[in-house]
Amino acid sequence: MTRSRNINLSNQSTALKSLFTGYLVVVAIGYMMALVQIQFTHGMADGKLGLSTDDIVYSYYGKRSGSVIESKLNGSMKAMAPEEERLKIINWVRKGANEKQFHSQGIRQIVDNRCIVCHSKTSGMPLPDFTQFNNISHVAETDTGASFSSLARVSHIHLFGIAFIFMFVGLIFSLATGVPKGLKAIVIVMPYIFLIIDIASWWLTKLNPHFAWLVIIGGGSMALSFAFMWVVSMYEMWIMPRIREDNRNPLLDE
């Protein structure tokens, strides 16, 4: 019984604490990079900085009053081309995205100069290949947001990957002693519950834009649980032992 009580973060060896710390630091940096990536992929969907419900609606449900390429040129891709060239492409799209006019009006040249760097097979990026007119014609159609196939692909990647990350974060946090058992269990299971809510909200928003708030609630709650486990774990590994050492009565050590 006495031995089992010593299995906690504050009493682990320096080597094991260093292992846990290295993992937590790298995962935290990865989480921050994910937030940056969300800002660039979804946060600029409405053309403004910061993630809003409009960004989420445009990303998953689409902006059905216009085309995909138009919403991108007015949103996340706005900085990729001068105003004159962007308006020229948008005007071409609104007039029917005719293939003959695509070449005669210089749209092909703009696309080659501004888009092909990323939108090509050689770039290695998961983006439409704009060297083929059919792919450009497809994104010139009405914007219906993320496709069901792309949602399925991203959903299974997130479910496997994030669940795997939180398994180890939760395992480290489970060794904390300064948190009541009931609260600890709730915090450990929270990321899994809100991960499912987050993924489900993508599909629901694809069907109905009113579910956009659920995306923010799911993602935000998952981030809060991660932050709580991270801070408590780091505190109990490195700060708590020092506090105990400083508060120790020197007379009792003699």
Domain annotation covers residue 49: no
Q: What is the DSSP letter of 235?
A: I
- pLDDT tens-digit profile, the chain (254 residues): 444 456 789 889 999 999 999 999 999 999 999 999 888 888 777 777 788 898 999 899 998 777 888 888 888 788 888 999 999 998 998 888 899 999 999 999 999 999 999 999 888 887 889 999 998 988 888 788 888 999 999 999 999 999 999 999 999 999 999 899 999 999 999 999 999 999 999 999 999 999 999 999 999 999 999 999 999 999 999 998 777 665 664 444 44
Domains contained in the chain, number: 2
On whether residue 169 sits in a domain, the answer given is yes
**30 and 153: one domain?**
yes
Smallest CA-to-CA distance from 107 within 76, 74, 75, 73 is with: 73
The number of angstroms, rounded, from the C-alpha of 67 to the middle of its chain's C-alpha atoms is: 24
| Angle subtended by helix axes 148-173 and 14-41, to nearest 10 | 160
- Distance between CA 251 and CA 228 in Å, rounded? 37
pTM for this predicted structure:
0.74
Whether 109 and 158 share a structural domain: no
What's the Cα-to-Cα distance from 165 to each of 151, 161, 211, rounded to whole Å?
A: 21, 6, 26
Same domain, 133 and 150: no
Same domain, 120 and 154: no
Same domain, 177 and 236: yes
Structure tokens at 43: 């946060």
Same domain? For 110 and 184 the reply is no
Residue 112 shares a structural domain with residue 155: no
Residues 32 and 78 placed together within one structural domain of the fold: no
Residue 181 domain boundaries? 2-42+146-246
Question: Does residue 110 sit in the same domain as residue 236?
Answer: no
Tell me what pLDDT residue 253 has: 46
Does residue 192 fall inside a structural domain?
yes
CA distance 46 to 70: 11
User: Is the same domain home to 98 and 133?
Assistant: yes
